Amino acid sequence: MAMASTYDVLLSRLQAAFDVVEVGADPVLRTSDRGDYQANGVMALAKRVGRSPREVAVEVMGHADLEGVAAVEVAGPGFLNLALSPGFLSQQLTAQRADERLGVAASPTARTVVIDYSAPNVAKEMHVGHLRSTVIGDALARMYRFAGHRVIARNHVGDWGTPFGMLIEHLLDLGEDEAVASLSIGDLDGFYRAARVKFDADDTFKERSRARVVLLQSGDVETRRLWRILVDESIAYFDLVYAKLDITLTVADIVGESYYNDMLDDVVRDLGAQGLLVESGGALCVFPPGFTNRDGEPLPLIVQKRDEGYGYAASDLAAVRDRVGTLHADEMLYVVGTPQAQHLEMVYAVARLADWLPQSVRCEHVTFGNVLGPDRKMFKTRSGETVKLVTLLDEAVERASASLAERDSDLDEDARRHLATQIARAAIKFADLSTERQHDYVFDLDRMIAFEGDTGPYLQYAHARVRSIFRRLGEQWSVGPITFGLDAPEERRLALGLLAFPEAFQMSLAALQPHRLCVYLFDLAQRFTAFYDACPVLSSEGPLRDERLALCDLTARTLNLGLSVLGIDAPEQM
């Protein structure tokens, strides 16, 4: 049953009251420790209408429907602190319990959201640098889907360009079987490096590679077949990594750079027809206004290189056209490393100039910080190489498995392995998602996988602990309507935490900041611990026991749903 969340109920009532003073004035409603909710919008409103905040606060409160609000206090320069009545809290908890979505309304209008994420490169290892794009992108995709939108994932893999000449020649030198063998065990970097070494050392190999690029670009059938081998083997390997990490990307979402090849002529022709192309050093470029280098000279976006080949920018322009024109995107998110910020901004600017990207389409570069090693430098292996994503995952599973084995449990080998995998993924994903996106973080497996602290496994454990209460209860617990008295302060705090799930989810999504939802879940788990320490559950009796069990049940469901929309499993038992 769909319900109006506590936040939405209060917001719409306050909105009506703020509207009386100025239509559309934002009440700026937040959960707060001073009161249960706090509206901070009075100060800005008072300033705009040139009146004193106190006076405006009094007027707003005079107009607000305050049913369910037990007390209002005007604090400081005009904060409105609202304390909710137990009856209202009880009613909202009851509605939330009856709602599968726990109060998160599905958007009445489904938008089409194209999310560009992960995007590894063919014949190159998926390394820790791809981790953040993959994990953040997938969390956002899941959140958007849950919010009721249509998500189109685009895995813009690097599957085109001049390196493919040398890669194909190297494949021929090795022989197809051997090449496939080395790629399929995931030695992508070894393959790439060997090709590179030959390219740099051997002039005839270099010549062959150049000729091969020409053949590839001209659509030579045999060359395309060889190229396909490289692409398919790499994709099979990426798929393995996605499965290990439980990422929702499928082969169907792989729409790499090469997909746009046939659209590139049109891109150039249309830019030319609009008079946007400028020849510069033999290359065709667009100079979007507002982009300059350090010396203040205009910066080009190179659409066609001197050798007539199209580059990375051209396929990104074609992708914008495809996503807007064919996929009808209402929103486009690029979950791509910060170093590509200028490239993407220039692509958007050129697409806007050419009228391919209407202002109504929200287009955002979702940036993220670096993953650092223990020395706070870029994360590398001891010998200075990039760290393979699979290695990290496997290591995390080993650790989790070992720590499970230490604890006495009745899990058989298979079950333990499965649980260890769930814990390992949670550790890695939560560490990544709970860091504010734009910040760097240190990859510290010991910390990430610990059952204590702000970690994925801690939240999984919190969830499993609540579920264990119901196992100990022994009987099937299902109970009719409950009146929540919430007499103990810990009960009340837990209840308010549970009721805040919808806005925590919505605000996290609106800001494209999964870490906000992580912060919420961690806080909820702590509220639960405080409640559980102070309020006996199984040893209490009658209606009080049912009330507390209902709080437990709703806590487990909230942790479960919250983790699942982030892409993290919540096992029943740990």
The footprint of ligand ARG on residues 144-173 (CB under 6 A) is: 156, 158
| Residue 121 found at the interface with ligand ARG (CB under 6 A) | yes
Residue number with CB closer to ligand ARG (365 or 467): 365
Residue number with CB closer to ligand ARG (154 or 515): 154
Q: Least distance from C-beta 338 to ligand ARG, angstroms?
A: 11
Q: Least distance from C-beta 156 to ligand ARG, angstroms?
A: 4
Residue number with CB closer to ligand ARG (90 or 121): 121
Q: What is the dihedral of CA 124, 127, 129, 130, to 10 degrees?
A: 80
Two tokens at 304? 């066609």
Compute CA 201 distance to the chain's CA centroid, rounded to the nearest angstrom.
Answer: 43
Size of the site for ligand ARG (CB under 6 A): 9
Question: How is 25-60 classified by DSSP, letter by letter?
Answer: ----EEE-SSSSEEE--HHHHHHHHTS-HHHHHHHH
Distance between CA atoms of residues 279 and 353, nearest Å: 18
Distance between CA atoms of residues 538 and 81, nearest Å: 35
Q: How far is CA 173 from CA 133, 166, 169, 194, 548, in A?
A: 34, 10, 6, 11, 70
Q: Least distance from C-beta 197 to ligand ARG, angstroms?
A: 22
Q: Least distance from C-beta 322 to ligand ARG, angstroms?
A: 11
Whether the Cβ atoms of residue 264 and residue 314 lie closer than 8 Å to each other? yes
Q: Least distance from C-beta 333 to ligand ARG, angstroms?
A: 11
The footprint of ligand ARG on residues 10-29 (CB under 6 A) is: none
Residue number with CB closer to ligand ARG (254 or 521): 254
Task: Using CB positions, name the residue nearest to ligand ARG.
Answer: 119
The 3-state DSSP class for residue 287 equals coil
DSSP code of 108? S
Which range touches ligand ARG (CB under 6 A), out of 82-90, 113-121, 468-476, 488-496?
113-121
Residue number with CB closer to ligand ARG (118 or 401): 118
Two tokens at 92? 């909202």
Distance between CA atoms of residues 129 and 167, nearest Å: 22
Two tokens at 60? 């707003």
Distance between CA atoms of residues 270 and 263, nearest Å: 11
Strand partners for 254: 155
Sheet of 112-116: strand order equals 150-154, 112-116, 331-334, 362-365
Residue number with CB closer to ligand ARG (115 or 139): 115
The footprint of ligand ARG on residues 331-390 (CB under 6 A) is: 334, 336
Q: Least distance from C-beta 121 to ligand ARG, angstroms?
A: 5
Whether the Cβ atoms of residue 298 and residue 80 lie closer than 8 Å to each other? no
Q: Least distance from C-beta 35 to ligand ARG, angstroms?
A: 45
Residue number with CB closer to ligand ARG (196 or 417): 196
Distance between CA atoms of residues 319 and 256, nearest Å: 10
Which range touches ligand ARG (CB under 6 A), out of 5-13, 115-123, 214-222, 508-516?
115-123
Residue number with CB closer to ligand ARG (114 or 554): 114
Whether the Cβ atoms of residue 72 and residue 60 lie closer than 8 Å to each other? no
Residue number with CB closer to ligand ARG (59 or 330): 330
Q: Least distance from C-beta 365 to ligand ARG, angstroms?
A: 10
Distance between CA atoms of residues 81 and 415, nearest Å: 49
Distance between CA atoms of residues 573 and 423, nearest Å: 12
Q: Least distance from C-beta 167 to ligand ARG, angstroms?
A: 15
Residue number with CB closer to ligand ARG (300 or 456): 300
Residue number with CB closer to ligand ARG (346 or 504): 346
Distance between CA atoms of residues 39 and 83, nearest Å: 12
Distance between CA atoms of residues 18 and 343, nearest Å: 43
| Residue 119 found at the interface with ligand ARG (CB under 6 A) | yes
221-245 and 163-174 helices, crossing angle to 10°: 90
Q: Least distance from C-beta 129 to ligand ARG, angstroms?
A: 8
Distance between CA atoms of residues 156 and 167, nearest Å: 19
Which range touches ligand ARG (CB under 6 A), out of 5-13, 50-58, 114-122, 223-231?
114-122
Q: Least distance from C-beta 128 to ligand ARG, angstroms?
A: 13
| Residue 267 found at the interface with ligand ARG (CB under 6 A) | no
Q: How many CB atoms lie within 10 A of CB 231?
A: 20
Which range touches ligand ARG (CB under 6 A), out of 30-38, 116-124, 227-235, 358-366?
116-124
Q: Least distance from C-beta 373 to ligand ARG, angstroms?
A: 20
341-353 and 312-321 helices, crossing angle to 10°: 50
Q: Would you mind telling me the total number of residues written for the chain in this entry?
A: 574
Element (H, E) at 140: helix 128-146
| Residue 90 found at the interface with ligand ARG (CB under 6 A) | no
| Residue 125 found at the interface with ligand ARG (CB under 6 A) | no
x/- contact string, 284-323, with ligand ARG (CB under 6 A)? Answer: --------------------------------x--x----
DSSP code of 339? G
Residue number with CB closer to ligand ARG (124 or 557): 124
Q: Least distance from C-beta 272 to ligand ARG, angstroms?
A: 23
Residue number with CB closer to ligand ARG (121 or 217): 121
Residue number with CB closer to ligand ARG (314 or 419): 314
Q: Least distance from C-beta 276 to ligand ARG, angstroms?
A: 20
DSSP code of 141? H
Two tokens at 47? 């300033």
| Cβ contacts of 67 within 8 Å, gap of 6 or more | 88
Contact positions vs ligand ARG (CB under 6 A):
116, 119, 121, 156, 158, 316, 319, 334, 336
